[in-house]
């Protein structure tokens, strides 16, 4: 498999930009001390991003995706965990995919 120079330059550039975005965020928050209110708001960002990825897939999907999402929601309600709903919801969707 050959990788031409433009492809390699694109991959390296994308990696550099990704690194700079992350490092820039860490640097910025070392320079500016966020208020407790801002820290509280920022603590919800990972969950909001996760939901923004999952909801369109479930809405566009069929019964298998809805079954997986339902199992994940029930599991989340009873376990107050992040890991178990992902595991059980994915497993339920796989089982539904296998059976249907």
100 and 61 together in one domain: yes
51 and 20 together in one domain: no
pTM of the predicted structure, to 2 decimals: 0.56
pLDDT digits (tens, 9 = 90+) for 15-33: 999 999 989 988 888 888 8
Residue 38 within any structural domain of the chain? no
Query: Do residues 70 and 90 make contact, with C-beta atoms less than 8 angstroms apart?
Result: no
Distance CA 26, CA 49 (A): 19
63 and 26 together in one domain: no
49 and 92 together in one domain: yes
Question: Angle at which helices 63-79 and 83-99 pack, to 10 degrees?
Answer: 150
pLDDT digits (tens, 9 = 90+) for 71-85: 999 999 999 888 999
Q: Which domain holds residue 70?
A: 44-100
54 and 100 together in one domain: yes
């Amino acid at each position: 498999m050959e990788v031409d120079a433009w492809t390699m330059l694109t991959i390296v550039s994308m990696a550099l930009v990704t690194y700079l975005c992350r490092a820039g965020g860490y640097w910025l928050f070392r320079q500016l001390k966020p208020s407790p209110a801002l820290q509280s708001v920022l603590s919800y960002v990972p969950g909001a991003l996760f939901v923004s990825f999952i909801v369109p897939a479930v809405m566009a999907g069929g019964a298998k995706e809805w079954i997986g999402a339902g199992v994940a929601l029930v599991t989340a309600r009873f376990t107050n965990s992040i890991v178990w709903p992902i595991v059980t919801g994915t497993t339920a969707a796989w089982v539904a995919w296998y059976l249907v």
